[in-house]
Structure 1
Amino acid sequence: MLAVDHLAPLDRESDRATDPTRASDPTRAGDRLAELTREGLVFGCDYNPEQWDRAVWDDDMRLMVEAGVGLIAINIFGWSWINPAHGEWDFAELDEVMDLAHAHGIRVNLGTATASPAPWVTTRHPEILPVSVDGTRRYPGGRQAYCPSSPIFRGYAAELSRRVVERYAGHPALAMWHVSNELGCHNALCYCDASATAFREWLEARYGTIAALNTAWGTSFWSQRYSAWDQILPPMAALSLRNPAQLLDFQRFSSDQQLELYRAEARVIRELSTAPVTTNFMVTAHIRALDYFSWAGEMDVIANDHYLDRRLPEPLAELSFAADLTRGLADGAPWLLMETSTGAVNWQPHNLAKGEGELLRNVVSHVSRGADGICFFQWRASAQGAEKFHSALLPHAGTDTAQWRSVLEVGRTLRRLQPIAGTRVASDAAVLFDWESWWSIENEGRPSEDLRYLDQVHAAHAALAAAGISTDVVSASADLSAYRLVVVPALHLVRDADADAIARFVEDGGTAVITFASGIVDQDDRVRLGGYPGAFRDLLGIVSEEFSPLGPGQVVALDDGTSGAVWSERLRPVDAEVDARFVDGPAAGLPARTRRRVGAGSAWYLATLPAAAAYRELLSRVAQDAGIRTVDALPGVEIIRRASDDRSFVFVINHTTESVEIAAHGRDAMTDEAVDGTVVVVGGAVRIIEEAS
C-alpha cells in the first residue's frame, strides 16, 4: 500500500501551491478541453453499467449513438466492482464496457473509482471512517465514508488509481481522467484523530511557531493560549462560540486536504498517461467547503456539476451566477458541465420536474456562459439505490416519452452549435468572489444572521444581469485591468495586496462599487481598526463608526425614493460625495450611498442592500458612466454573446411565456436561416444568432 504525505497549507498570498504536476499555464485548462471538443460541443453523461445486466449494455450504446452522446463517465463508483475484496481484482466487465464504447465511437471520461471505498475497506479499517463536529463517527451505507486526511485511505486510493491507470492509459476510448467524484460533498470537514494530527501539521507548516499561531488566532481571548502543538484540536462542538480564526483555518485546512486527495491521484495518472486530468467541482449555492480558486490551477479541464436548486427564490439567476463563476475559475476559457439533470433531482425537499422546453433553456444558458460541453447524471435512471428517483437521459418509462424526445432535441441542438466551441464570453464588468470571505462572514458571532454572503453576491450579479451587462465572476486577487466596472459585494476578509489592487484599478480609471461588510477583517480574521470599512476606508473616503443591522424583514427608506434591507450603519463622509441618505431606521439622516472620485476612476459605497429594481437602475447608471453599453433587458430574457476573433454568437433565452423581439443581423445558428433586422423569440424558446461580420 502506498503512503501519501499530508498536504502543507497552500500559499494563498501567491494563490497557488508549488507542485510540479499542476497546470502552471493559466490557458492550459482551455487548451486541454479543446482536445475533447475537436468535433465541436461535447454531449455526455455518467454511465453506470455495473447497475445493469450485461444484456442491457448493447442497447445502451445503440441509444447513446441515436441521442448523439459522445462522452461517458464510467467507473466513478467502481471500487467494489473492480476490487471486490482485499487483494482481489476483476477488470473483465470494465474492459468490455471500454471496448464497447470504442466500438460505438464513444469516448470515455474514466474514473479512478476512489469516490467511495468498498465495504471491505471500512470493515478492515474502521478507523478511516469520518467523525462529525459532535465527535460521533459516521458509518458506511451512503457515500464518501472516509476521512480525507487518513493515510490509510490515501494509500488504498493511490493503489487503486495506479491499477486503473496502468490498465487503461493506452486504451483508444480514453479521452480524459476523472479523479474521485465531487470531492468534499459530504465529508469536507472531519474531526477524527487523523484529521487532528494533519491539522496540527498543517498549522505548524503555516505558522512555524506556536507564538505566531497564538498571535494569528488571538488566543489571549478566553485563555486559549497554546504552549505546544499537541494541545490544538479541530474546532469541535463547544459549549459557547468558538474561536473564529481557528474555524477559518480549519476550513482552509479542510479544503487543502481534499485538494491533496486530487493531487495525489493526479500525480499517479500523470506518471503513466498524457490524457487530461480533472475532477468535478460543485459551484452551487449549497456547497461552500472548498476554495476552488486554489484548486483551479491543478485542473487540465475546469468541470462543474450544477443542478437547479428549487429551494432558492431565483434558481435561474443562481444557474447564471454559477456558470459565470465556473468560467472565472477557467480564467475565461471554455469549461465543461460535468453533471446536470434532465428533470427532477432526488435530494431537495420538493423535487420538481422541468417544464416544457426548460431542459433546452438550461442547457443553452450554460453554453452561452462558456460551457463547451454538457454532460448529465446519468444515462439510465437507476432502478435501485438512493438515486432511483433522480432523472436521467433515459427515464424509467423508456424512449416513448416526452423526456426522451427532449433529450434528442438537446443532442440535435448541440450538434448544430459545433462552431461555437472555443469561443469566449467577453465582459466589461466583474463581480469579485471569495470563498474565505464566505467562511469568515458566516462563522459564529457575526453582526446579523441575515447577512449571508451568497445573498449579497447573487444580488449584485442579478442586478448586472438585469441591466443587460455581461459579467465575469472572478477571484479577489484576479487581474482587473480588462474591466471597466468591478462590484465588490461583502468582501469581508481581504488581504492588503488585494485591497491595494482594487485601489489601483480605480486610480487607473476603473469604477468600483463596494458594498457593506467589505474590508472588515484581514487574513487572520482580525478586525481592521480605525473604523469600517477597514481596508477600503481611504479609497472610499468614508468612516463608519458602528454597524446598525436591520431587524428581520425591516426595510428602510432612502431620500432618492428607493429602499434598503438587511443593513445600515452610522457612516460619515470624509471626502466622498453623498449620493443618497437614510430617511428612517437606525441610521436616519446618515449616508446610505457615497461616491468618491479617485484618479481617473470612481469608488462607490453601498451601506444597505437596495431592492432589486433600484439595484439594477443604480448599476446601470454606474456602468454607463464607466463607458459600458447596457441593454434594456426584459425580465426573464437572457442575452449573452460568445465570440472569437472572427465569429460572434448572440444567445437569446426567453424564460417567459411572452414573445420578445430582438434586433439582430446574421444567420440563425440552429436553422441556418438569414436574420436581417429583428428576430422574434417566442415564449419558452431560445434563438442563437451568428452575427454578420
Structure 2
Amino acid sequence: MGIHFGGDYNPEQWPEEVWAEDLELMKAAHVTMVTAGIFSWAKVEPRPGQWDFGWFDRVMDGLAGAGIAVCLATMTASPPPWLSRAHPEILPEGPDGQRRWPGGRQHYCPSSPVYRTHAVRLVEQLATRYADHPALAMWHVGNEYGCHTRQCFCDVSAADFRRWLRTRYGSIDALNATWSTAFWSQGYGDFDEVLPPRTAPTFPNPAQQLDYLRFGDEALRTCYLAEKEVLERLTPGVPVTTNLMPQHKPVDAFAWAPHMDAMALDFYQDPYAADDHVRAGYVFDLMRSARSGQPWLLLEQAPSAVNWRPRNGPKPPGAMRLWSWQAVAQGADAVLFFQWRQSLGGAEKFHSAMVPHGGTGTRIFREVTELGRELAAVPGIEGTRSRAEVALLADWHSWWALELDSKPSTALDHSRIALDHYRPLFEAGVACDVLPPQRDLTGYRLVVVPNLYLLTERDAERLADYVRDGGRLLVSFFSGIVDAHDRVHPGGYPGPLRELLGLRVEEFWPLATHQSVSVGDGTYTGRADLWSEAVDLQGAEPLAHFTNGDLTGRPALTRHTYGQGTAWYVATRPDPALLRALLDDVRSEAGVTPVLPNLPPGVQATVREGTDVRYVFLLNHGADPADITLPRPLRDALTPDGPTVTQLTLPPRGVAVLTGPSTPTTHT
C-alpha cells in the first residue's frame, strides 16, 4: 500500500470538464488518496430533503477508476444557507451574547438538536449510498472541530450545560461545594439558575469556566459521535476519523483518541518561524502517542503558503519535502495537502494547492510530484512503529485551568512550557512519547512533567509509584497546585507532590516582564526568567540556587531520592542551555540514549521499526550541511538499489531514509 499521498479534493468548485484532467494529473503526481466532500452539503442537498448526488457519483466513480482511494467526508462542517434561514436557533453565540452569522463556515451551535438532526440525516444518505463503493477507504467526520466555533453560549447551550451538570454532580449542593460558590455569594438554589460563563463584570467563577471548557469539548465530541454511530451501523469495518488541529485548546485529543480509528491531524508549519519543526515534532509525537504508538494521518498541510497568517510566506525549495518526511519519520502513514487544485474564488483562493493557479509548470507542482514519487518508492514504511523510553506528560484539563484568569501570573503558557521541555529531548535525538498523566508509565526510563498545575491525588500517586519503583521523574514549576475542580490542595504547595519531591514551596515569585535571574552556586549555571519560587528543602538536595534577586540563596534546581528512584524539581524557567544541560544529565542517569550519538546541530534522527525491518530518518533542519557518521552500515532507501553507507552529508533541508534489519534491543 505505501504511505498514502494526496489532498482535499473539491470538484464542486470546477466545471466537469476539469475533472478528467484532475484524474490524469493525480496519477502523474502519484496520488493514492483524496479527501472528498468536506464542504459539499449545499451542493448535495440544495433544498431541505432534496438530494442531488448524481454529480458526486461521477466524482467517486472517476476516482475509483483511477485507482485513487477516498477518505469520504460527511459534509457536515458547513451547514447550507437554507438551514440557518429556516432555523436561526442553530447559529452560535459568543460569551457577549452576539450571534455569529452565516457567511463563513462552522456556523452552528454544537448543542443544537436541529443541527445534529439534519447532520445525521445527511450522513445516513451518504453512508447508504456509498457503503459498497470501491473508492471508499475511510470516513472523515466533520472538519476541524472547534476551529471557529470553539464554544457556544446561547440558550440552547445553556440548557445542554445544565443537563450536563445534573449528570455530573447529581445535586445542586454537590455543584455548590465543588465550585466553591460560597465565595462572592454565588450559591445556587437550583440547576436552572446556572448559566454559561458569559461576559461578566469581573472574573467568572474559575470552576464554572473549567467545567464549561469540559462541556464544550464534549458537545463537539457528541456531534462527532452521532455521525460516527451512523457510519459504524451502515458501513461496518470502514475506519472513521476526523482531523484535529495542533495544540488546539478546545479539543482534548486524548479524550477523542478512543473514538477515532486513526488519529488525524492538520498541521501548517510557518516558513517564517525558524524552529517550527520543534513544535511539529511535539505535535506529531502527541498524535503518535495518543493511540499507543499507532501510525497516524497527516490529513492537511500546505504545499507552500497559507492565506490566514498576517504574513503568508511560501515554503522555500525543499521545505515541503523536509516537513512531509518529518511527519512520516514521526509516525505518519499518510501525507495529504489542502488542497488539490487552488481555488479561483473564496476566502482561501491565495492558499497554495498541489495544482497552483499557474498549473503544472510550477515549482510547487514539480515538488509535489517528486514527493509523491519518493513516497511511493519506499512501500515498507507504513505500519511500522516507534519506541520511546521518555514520556512527557500533558493534560488538557490542566491546560484549561492554568490559563484561566486570576493567577499569580497570566504569562504562563501551557504550549510554550511544554515546548521548552520537549526541545532538549528533540535536539538530542531522543524519542519521546507525549501522554496524559492517567497513562501507564511502566517501561519508561524517564518521565518529564513540564507543568501539571491541575493534578488529582490519584495521578500524583501514580507518579509517586513510578518513582518509588525505580523511575526517574523531572517536574517543573507550578505543578500539583489544584485538584480537578481548580481548588487548591490543602497542606501547602505543591500539594500531593511534596513528599515525592522532598520540598515545600512557601511562596510563588513570578518574575516581571523582561526580568531574569541568575542560577548557579552548584552543579548548574545559567539564567532563568518568567517564574521563580521560594523553596524549602524537606529531604531534597539543591543542585543550584538563585544567585541574585529576592530569592538569592534559595534552591532553584533540586534532586530527591524516593524509594528506588529519583525526582528532580525545577523551580523556575531555565534558559535553553541550562535546561538542556540538566535534562542531558537526568536522561543519562536514567539510561536514555539518543537515536544517534553526537548529532550535528539542526539534525533530527528518528526510527520506525517493523517485525524484521527498521528505518532511520535523518532530517537537516539547519542552515548548514551536516556530516553524519553511522555506528553501523545502513542502506539508502530513497535511491533505487541504494548503496550501503556509514557516512553521509546532508545539505540544508536534506532528507535521508536509511534501512536495515530490525534490532529491537538497540537504538541504532
Assess same fold via TM > 0.5. Answer: yes
Corresponding residue for 2:636? 668
Q: Is the 8 A contact 1:667 1:689 kept in 2?
A: yes
Partner of residue 403, structure 1? 364
CA distance in 2, matches of 1:419, 1:59: 30
Shift of 1:417: 2.1
2:464 alignment partner, one of 503, 506, 512: 503
Shift of 1:88: 1.1
Distance (Å, rounded) in 1 between the aligned partners of 2:243 and 2:11: 24
Report the equivalent of 1:604. 568
How many Å separate the matches in 2 of 1:575 and 1:346? Answer: 55
2:445 aligned with 1:467: no
**Preserved contact between residue 177 and residue 275 of structure 1 (Cα < 8 Å):** no
> Which whole-Å deviations, capped at 9, do the CAs of 1:259-306 have from their partners, x for residues lacking one?
000100010111110243433343424x21011111100011111111
One-letter identity of the residue aligned with 2:537 = P
Please say if residues 636 and 645 of structure 2, whose CA atoms lie closer than 8 Å, have aligned partners that are also in contact.
no
Aligned to 1:36: none
Partners of 1:112 and 1:178 within 8 A in 2? yes
Q: 1:553 aligns with which of 499, 509, 514?
A: 514
User: Which position in structure 2 is the counterpart of 1:107?
Assistant: 69
1:430 CA drift (Å): 1.1
Partner of 1:17 in structure 2? none
Q: What corresponds to 1:333 in structure 2?
A: 294
Distance 2:29 2:302 in 1: 16
Cα distance in 2 for residues equivalent to 1:411 and 1:355: 18
Residue 5 (structure 1) aligns with: none
- Say which SS state the counterpart of residue 381 (structure 1) adopts: coil
1:366 maps to a residue whose letter is A
Cα pair 1:636 1:654 within 8 Å, conserved: yes
Q: Confirm or deny: 8 A CA contact 2:172 2:189 kept in the other structure.
A: yes
Structure 1 residues 537-581: Cα deviation after superposition (integer angstroms, max 9, x where no partner): 110010001100011011110113211111101111100011110
User: In 2, distance between residues paired with 1:323 and 1:592?
Assistant: 32
Q: Is the 8 A contact 2:599 2:628 kept in 1?
A: no
Q: Which residue matches 1:130?
A: 92
Q: 1:275 to 1:603 in 2, by over 3 A?
A: same
Q: Which residue of 1 aligns with 2:123?
A: 161
Q: 2:408 & 2:271 partners in 1: Cα distance?
A: 28
Map 1:578-593 to 2 at 5 A.
578-593=542-557
Say if 1:339 and 1:377, in contact at 8 Å, map to a contact too.
yes
In 1, the alpha carbon distance for the partners of 2:181 and 2:274 equals 40
Matching residue of 1:225: 187
Q: Distance in 1 between matches of 2:491 and 2:385?
A: 43
Pair 1:151–1:339, CA change in 2 (3 A): same
Gaps of 5+ in 1: 1-38
- Segments of 5+ residues of structure 2 without an aligned counterpart are 663-668
Deviation of 1:450 (Å)? 1.7
Instruction: Judge conservation of contact 1:276–1:300 (CA < 8 Å) in 2.
Output: no
Contact 1:582/1:588 (<8 A) preserved: yes
2:410 aligns with 449
Residue 327 of structure 1: how far off its partner (Å): 0.7
Cα gap change, 1:659 to 1:512, in 2 (>3 Å): same
2:23 aligned partner: 61
User: In the alignment, residue 669 of structure 1 is paired with which amino acid?
Assistant: A
The total of aligned residue pairs comes to: 654
1:576 corresponds, among 507, 532, 540, to 540
How many Å separate the matches in 1 of 2:382 and 2:629? 24
Q: Distance in 2 between matches of 1:340 and 1:57?
A: 22
Query: Which of 102, 105, 117 pairs up with 1:143?
Result: 105
- Corresponding residue SS for 1:247: helix
- With over 3 angstroms needed to count, the CA separation of the structure-2 counterparts of 1:283 and 1:88, relative to structure 1, is closer
Q: Give yes or no for contact 1:165–1:273 (8 Å, CA) kept in 2.
A: yes
**1: CA distance between counterparts of 2:359 and 2:213?**
44
Per-residue deviation, 1:376 = 0.7
Q: Which of 558, 566, 571 lines up with 2:530 in the alignment?
A: 566
Question: Cα offset for 1:692?
Answer: 4.9
Name the residue aligned to 2:598. Answer: 632
* 1:366 paired to 2:327: yes
- Report the CA distance between 1:440 and its aligned residue: 0.4
Give the SS at the match of 2:487. Answer: coil
| CA contact 2:271–2:314 (8 Å) conserved in 1 | no
Instruction: Tell me how far 1:200 sits from its aligned partner.
Output: 0.2
Q: Which residue of 1 aligns with 2:665?
A: none
Specify which of 191, 214, 222 is matched with residue 176 of structure 2: 214
Residue of structure 2 aligned with 1:687, choices 647, 656, 659: 656
Q: Which amino acid aligns with 2:637?
A: A
The offset of 1:677, in angstroms, is 2.3
The 3-state SS of whatever aligns with 2:314 is coil
Report the AA paired with residue 652 of structure 2.
G
Structure 1 counterpart of 2:619, one-letter code: I
Q: Does 1:658 align with 2:637?
A: no
**Counterpart Cα distance in 2 of 1:573 and 1:312:** 40
* 8 A contact 1:175–1:275 mirrored in 2: no
1:49 to 1, 5, 11: 11
Alignment of 1:266-277 (within 5 A): 266-277=228-239
| Cα pair distance change 1:275/1:72, threshold 3 Å | farther
DSSP 3-state at the match of 1:424: coil
Whether contact under 8 Å (1:283, 1:325) holds in the other structure is no
Question: Which residue type is aligned with residue 276 of structure 1?
Answer: V
Partner of 1:406: helix, strand, or coil? Answer: helix
Match of 1:203 in 2: 165
User: What is residue 610 of structure 2 aligned with on the other side?
Assistant: 644
Q: What amino acid is aligned across from residue 141 of structure 1 in structure 2?
A: G
Alpha-carbon distance between aligned partners in 1 of 2:555 and 2:243, rounded to the nearest angstrom: 41
Query: Aligned partners of 2:648, 2:380: CA distance in 1, in Å?
Result: 21
Secondary structure of the residue aligned to 1:500 is helix
1:486 aligns with 2:447: yes
- Return the alpha-carbon distance in structure 1 between the equivalents of residues 243 and 177 of structure 2: 34
CA distance in 2, matches of 1:386, 1:352: 17
Alpha-carbon deviations, 1:484-503, whole Å to 9, x = none? 00100111111122111111
Query: C-alpha separation between the residues in 1 aligned to 2:645 and 2:143?
Result: 47
**Hey, what's the Cα distance between the residues in 2 that align with 1:200 and 1:435?**
22
Contact 1:328 1:475 in 2 (8 A): no
SS at match of 1:666: strand
Aligned mates of 1:75, 1:458 — CA distance in 2 = 35
SS at match of 1:77: coil
Where does residue 3 of structure 1 map in the other structure?
A: none
Q: Is 2:38 the partner of 1:76?
A: yes
4+ residue runs over 4 A deviation: 310-313
- Quick one: distance in 2 between partners of 1:448 and 1:633? 37
User: Structure 1 residue 313: deviation in Å?
Assistant: 6.3
With normalisation by structure 1, the TM-score equals: 0.93
Residue of structure 1 equivalent to 2:666 = none
Aligned to 1:595: 559
Give CA-to-partner distance per residue, 1:195-228, whole Å, 9 cap, x none. 0000000000000000000011000000000000
Is the contact between residue 311 and residue 348 of structure 1 (CA under 8 Å) also seen in structure 2?
Answer: no
Q: Say which is worse superposed, 560-569 or 391-400, in terms of deviation.
A: 560-569
1:73-128 C-alpha deviation (Å, 9 max, x unpaired): 11111110100011211101000000000111111111111111000000000111
Task: Work out whether residues 43 and 71 of structure 1, in 8 Å CA contact, stay in contact via their aligned partners in 2.
Answer: yes
Q: RMSD over aligned Cα, in angstroms?
A: 1.2
Aligned with 1:343 (options 300, 304, 307): 304
Q: Do the aligned residues in 2 keep the contact of 1:188 with 1:289 (CA within 8 Å)?
A: yes
Q: For the Cα contact (< 8 Å) 1:568–1:586, is it kept in 2?
A: no
Following superposition, the deviation at residue 482 of structure 1 comes to: 2.0
Q: Distance in 1 between matches of 2:516 and 2:292?
A: 38
Counterpart-to-counterpart distance in 2, 1:390 and 1:180: 21
Equivalent-residue separation in structure 2 for 1:579 and 1:283 (angstroms): 39
